[in-house]
Structures are given as C-alpha cells and as structure tokens.
Chains A and B, each alone.
Chain A
Amino acid sequence: MSTGLRYKSKLATPEDKQDIDKQYVGFATLPNQVHRKSVKKGFDFTLMVAGESGLGKSTLVHSLFLTDLYKDRKLLSAEERINQTVEILKHTVDIEEKGVKLKLTIVDTPGFGDAVNNSECWKPITDYVDQQFEQYFRDESGLNRKNIQDNRVHCCLYFISPFGHGLRPVDVGFMKALHEKVNIVPLIAKADCLVPSEIRKLKERIREEIDKFGIHVYQFPECDSDEDEDFKQQDRELKESAPFAVIGSNTVVEAKGQRVRGRLYPWGIVEVENQAHCDFVKLRNMLIRTHMHDLKDVTCDVHYENYRAHCIQQMTSKLTQDSRMESPIPILPLPTPDAETEKLIRMKDEELRRMQEMLQKMKQQMQDQ
C-alpha cells in the first residue's frame, strides 16, 4: 500500500552529503523522529461495536483483527432476553505488527435492542462514553499527568440490519443519542443476503434517512489538492460507498485453489476480502490503515472538547447559583415583581369602580323613590 510510505522522507545518501551540509537544515527528518518515537511508545485504540444480536458483530471483529476475542461466550435464549438490559463489556488485546504495538480495546454492548421494550436502551452506552470522558477530564486536570490512560471511545461501528428497508426507530434513537459524543461509522451487516442492486438501494436509503433525521456520522476528511490522483480516486470511492456493506467470517474455505476467508454456500462461496463481494476491505483500510489516527484526532479535538466545554459551563453556572458572586457569565435579571402587583392593583381599581357605580345607581333609585 502506498499509504505506508507516505510519511517516510527520502534520506540523504552519503555521496552528496557535503553539498547537503551547506543547504540542508535537517528538519526534514522530523517525520522520521516522530515515527521512531511513536513506534517506541505504542498506540492505543478503543473501538465500540453496537447493534442487535445476531448481526455478526463478533464475527466481523474477528475478521478485522484476526484474533478471537470471544472464545467462550454464552448466548442467551429468547425467553431470557425478553427483559434484557444492556451491558458494557470490554476486551483488551495487545497486538504487534512489524514492531508497531497496538493496544486494542473492543467495547461490546450485548443486549442492545434485544428486549421487547427497548425504550432508552442506549442509555447505558451514553453513560459509559460520558464516564470515559469524565475520567480523562479529571486526569487531565490533575497534578500528575504522566501516565494518563486514554479510555475514550474513538470509534463506534453501528450495525444496521439488512433485512429491513432502511433505518429503524431504534437505530435512529441510538445514533441521535451518540452522534455528538463518538464517531459513528454505520455498517450494513450480513450483506450476503443482498444482491448488488439491493445493496445500492439500501445504501441510498440509509444515506437519505441519515440526512433526514440530522444524524452526524463520521465524515472522512477531505484530501488535500496536492495528493496524487490514485489517492484522490480511492478517497472518492471510499466516500461513495458509505455506509459499508460488510460480511464477516471466521472460517477459511477453499476457493479457486486458494484458501480464503469466506462463507460456503451451496450456490457459491462468498469471499470476505473480495472487493466485488463486499466492502470489508474498504472498511479495514479505512479503520486501520488510513483513518485510525484521524478517528482519534476527531475524538480528542471535537467530541472531547465539546464535552469539556459543556462540563465547565455547567460547573460555573452551578457556582454562580450557589455563591452569587461576580462571575464572567452574566446572570439573567429576574422578572420585576411590580408587574404582578400592578396587575393586582389594576384589578382592585376595577372592583372599586364597579362598586362605586353600583352605589350611585342605588342612590339614584332612592332619590327617584
């Protein structure tokens, strides 16, 4: 992949070193230094997967990271799930590739959308995300900031069921509750039940509904104008295929003499890594190979800062309510009580006038008599 080489600059060869010494300042090696340091430090990434049971979340995570995180999990039967509540499960693995270490945390949400009554079933998830933000905020404001653990959720893969005509109310509810807190990447799960024309229609439908309901999913950043054409083309294709229609598999089958990861059907073999079959490769590239750091940046710069600003505002407004001291935030003036008393006065005036009129009338009557 050409992307890996983007950030490596050309190192000076020893021959023209003398010439280079004269004109060469040397900060062109900064990317290398960053690269070295980051390899030493290691990376961390927190990924959340959410969606109804049976949409293939664990299988996809397995296919993405080629590790089995769910060795012995117990699947609940239908009657146990009638009143199921949502849990939050965290699995952390340390994986390494070519010297680069990655601490990967997968946050799973079993029980989401399983119960018969799913009102506010996304509340435990929003609480968890807020909790992570709060902890980071506290750590950041603390005195000893050397080893802050970043547990904030960097990306949320939301699995949309392919069996419907688009987004369901529970999907809309979840995404609206979380779109300002976490990068949401919507996926169409189990895409092997849709023919290509159906996939296109469903993607369009979902894009329309996302616009209609005002949901802010993760937007891929624009590429600079000085990138090469290939990269621009790739970027365009990526943007056009959102939401990704994915298929996951943790079994290896034999197709055309090769062993590939796929699903074996009587009518054919679905290859997970075949671009013509599904968008798994695009998702993997986007998530891991090109946009992982951007996801982290957006989480730090946008979502976390929003949370932080909101938190601080709440704290200062609470202070002004409690101590009533001068604050930079202006307090709204109370409505004057005079308005009320004026009204009362007016009413009483009216009454008095009426009574006077009555008395006059009575006087008249008596005089007539």
Chain B
Amino acid sequence: MAATDLERISNVEPESRSLSLGGHVGFDSLPDQLVSKSVTQGFSFNILCVGETGIGKSTLMNTLFNTTFETEEASHHEECVRLRPQTYDLQESNVHLKLTIVDAVGFGDQINKDDSYRPIVDYIDAQFENYLQEELKIRRSLFDYHDTRIHVCLYFITPTGHSLKSLDLVTMKKLDSKVNIIPIIAKADTISKSELHKFKIKIMGELVSNGVQIYQFPTDDEAVAEINAVMNAHLPFAVVGSTEEVKVGNKLVRARQYPWGVVQVENENHCDFVKLREMLIRVNMEDLREQTHSRHYELYRRCKLEEMGFQDSDGDSQPFSLQETYEAKRKEFLSELQRKEEEMRQMFVNKVKETELELKEKERELHEKFEHLKRIHQEEKRKVEEKRRELEEETKAFNCRKAAMEALQSQAMHATSQQPLRKDKDKKNRSDIGAQQSGMSLSNSKVMMTKASVEPLNCSSWWPAIQCCSCLVRDATWREGFL
C-alpha cells in the first residue's frame, strides 16, 4: 500500500497546479515574520583580513564600519603567521550585528614564506569543524550557536602596479575552495588611473589563468542582478582607508591630506571604497553567509564525513543510519585501542623478563669471579705456608750444621790449648755430645744462637758473626747469655 501511495505522489509533483486565491489569506507576511525573528536573534558576520603587515587592514575595517576597533600596530618580526580573532557587538537601528574580525598577523613578513598559508587554512577548517561537531551532537542548539565560520576573506593586494605577488597567488589558490575571497587593492592612492586600469586587468588575468575562484556577486536575484553585474566588472576594488577627517569645501569628510591634494575616501572618482561598502555590507552580506554555509561548509562536511567512512545512500540499498555507522566505528576504535593496550603490556612484560635475565646473568658472573678470586687466594696462602715450612726446615738444617761445625772448631781449639782448656773441652765435648743428642743442652752461646731469630747474616762464617753484634744481637736473653 505504501508503495502505490508513493508512486502517486511522485507522479503528481512535477505537475503541481497553481491556484488563484479568492481573497487575502495573509501568508504574505511570512517574510516579515522571518525578518522579525532574525532581527531579534541578531546576525553574526565573520571577516578574515589577509595581507602584508602595514597594508591598511585595520584602517579599512575602521573606515568600513565607521568606528575604531582597538588593535595595536603589528611588528614585522613575527616568527610565523598567527590568526587573531576579535569579536565586537555593533548595533544600527534595531539590528544587532556580532562582528568578528580575524587578522592574519605576520603574513608576508618572514623570509621563508612557504608555510604562510597553513595557519590560515587550519583556522578556517577549525571553525568548520566546530560547527560540524555541533551539528553532530545529540543535544544540539544550532539556533543559539555562535557561528564562527569565516563568511568572507578580504585579500589585500600590494599596489606594486605590475601584477600579483607570488605569495598572493599561492595563498589564494589554497583558500578559494574554503572561503569567499574578495581581492582588494590596498593603498590605492599610490596608483594613477591609467596604471590602475592596467593593474586590474593584469590581476584578473592572472587569477583566471591560474584557476583561482574568487567570489562573484550573485546575478540571479533580479533586484540586485544589475548592480552586481556592474560591480563584478570592477573587481578587484581599489580602496583607500582613512579615519581622519578633512575639511573639503564646507564639509568634513574622511580623507587623506597630501601636499598635492586631498584623497576623499567616499568619492567614487578617487577610489572604490563606496563600491566595496555597498557590495560587502549593504547588498550581499546575507548572500556571503549563505554561500559559506551551502557551498564551502558542505564541501568541508562531505570531505570530512567521507574520511570518517560514511557514505551516502544510493537508491536501492537500505539507507545507512548515521547512528549505526557511528556505533560500529566506535566499537572498532575501542577494540583497536584495547589491542594496542595489550600489545604494549606484552612488550612491557617482555622487557621486564629480559632485564631480569640480564641481571641474573650478571649476578652469576659476579659470584663466579668471587669464587675464582677466593680460590686464587687459597692457592696463594697454601703456597706461602709451604714456603714457610721449607724455610723452617732449612733453618733447622742450617742450625744443625752450624752446631756441628762449632763442635769441630771447639775441638780444634781445645787441641791447641791443652790443659787449661781441657775442662772446657770436656765440657765442650760433653756439650757437643749434648748438642748432637738433643741440640738443646749446649753451651749457653750456642743455645742462645739457635733460639735467636733466623736472620740473613752478612758475615761469611758463624765465628765472626757472633763477634759482629750488629747482625745478631736482638734478644735481651741472648745478650745475657753471651756476656
């Protein structure tokens, strides 16, 4: 049943009949309702100003909105381009405007300008991203949302008189798919009329030949088609900005006073400021916002969502539910996360094991070394002991031999000095025998000698050695014996 109903409706649509009303119904107040609603809501408009430092961006903003936005002069020595957004609340009649002016500070100052466009593109994308996030929320408040997407980019061209700079070309190419670009020739009071004409043609030629899409004022709405078409031919606008007032004739007008004349900002012959104001604020502001939303934002959204893996439904298959796809993605993501966590844990455990093994190895090695050293020490000790024993034996042997030699000598002495010494000799014989027997019941001198500590004697034989006190006299007991 549902299928046939659908068919009928789809057949009816292309031939919708137009009916005429019999009386005044009143839905012609719909636009008014819309208008009053939007007036109470307030409007927001975001302008991005891109141009070299000192080219007159702040002055032009002041001139356009006839007020003074508080900004300080920028320095030429910034490290890189950064964007400085400032929001102001303006009111005219009963219309509230939340105006955000974003300034690209430091643009064109660096020596290496390869990356100058990147902060700008990132900022624009960030604003789109914020809006997208808000849109995708479950509880969202889009009517209340402060829209920070850039609605128009005023690109300030330096009035060299020859052509665009290379930086201008590169930057505009990167920006043309993300934002509405309106190129402006700044400080136009430095170019004379003929030069200006040539300059404009050159610029537009270069933009077209490089495929840069600047914002074209819409010509489909009848009310403004004509004026927009005319203005399109005057692009890029050559503007002069000034907040100072000069007396011209009997009026005070905004102008710049030179020694050779006065350049009036609002004089159409002098510059295109009035045209810019008309186009930007009075005629096409709403169109700029719409273009930003319907063209640039939608392009961004499509790219972003495709990146995330979503796809539009085609006629036959079931329409994907955003929710389902989102859930699936989320699960995938979480499982991925868990897997990574496991991996890391494993790695950590492995590493711990490895270090443990290493440390154990080292400990073992250290023990081994210790054992080894201990063994060596033992060896040495043993050797030392052995040597000591050998030495002791040697000394004993030596002492025995010495005693024997002494006995012989004393015998010889007794033989020479017969009687008075016979007693001695007997004594000595007895003592010799005693010595041979025990080695301990010798004459006092010999006993003392064996008991004396074994020292290396520097005397050739033992007899002069005994005489030589410096070599042997050590013990007090020995000395007594000798005396």
- Chain A residues in contact with chain B, CB under 8 A? 52-55, 75, 77-79, 81-82, 84, 114-119, 121, 161-170, 173, 190, 192-193, 195-196, 263-271, 274, 276-277, 359, 362-363, 366
Contacts and interface: CB of A to CB of B under 8 A. Distances in A.
B261 A267 contact: yes
A52 B190 CA distance: 16
Interface in B205-223: 206, 210
Interface in B144-185: 158-170
B192 A265 contact: yes
B187 A118 contact: no
A366 B377 contact: yes
Given A77-B206, A116-B114, A116-B170, A277 B260 contact: yes
B275 interface: no
Contacts of B256: 195
A352 B393 CA distance: 37
Contact of A266 (B167, B210, B269): B269
B270 A267 contact: yes
Contact of A265 (B168, B189, B259): B189
Q: Is the interface of B mostly helix, strand, loop or mixed?
A: loop
Contact of B76 (A81, A168, A269, A363): A168
Contacts of A118: 111-113
Nearest to B77: A169
Interface string B237-266: 000000000000000000011111111100
B110 interface: yes
B258 A192 contact: yes
5 contacts: A77-B206, A161-B158, A163-B56, A167-B76, A270-B258
Interface string B181-206: 00000110110110000000000001
- Please name the 5 residue pairs, one residue from A and one from B, whose CB atoms are nearest each other, closest first: A268-B261, A54-B160, A193-B190, A164-B54, A267-B261
B54 to A, nearest CB: 4
Given A117-B114, A164-B53, A366-B374, 6 more contacts: A77-B163, A116-B170, A163-B54, A165-B54, A168-B53, A267-B263
B259 A78 contact: no
B162 A53 contact: yes
B120 to A, nearest CB: 15
Contact of A267 (B76, B110, B186, B264): B264
Q: Is the interface of A mostly helix, strand, loop or mixed?
A: loop
Given A79-B206, A264-B192, A119 B163 contact: no
B74 A81 contact: no
B39 interface: no
A365 to B, nearest CB: 9
A276 B260 CA distance: 9
B76 A166 contact: yes
Interface centre among A55, A168, A359 (most CB of B within 10 A): A168
A266 B377 contact: no
A119 B192 contact: no
Nearest to B54: A164
Given A116-B113, A193-B190, A265-B192, A169 B76 contact: yes
B432 interface: no
B76 A173 contact: no
A264 B164 CA distance: 23
B373 A362 contact: yes
Contacts of B373: 359, 362
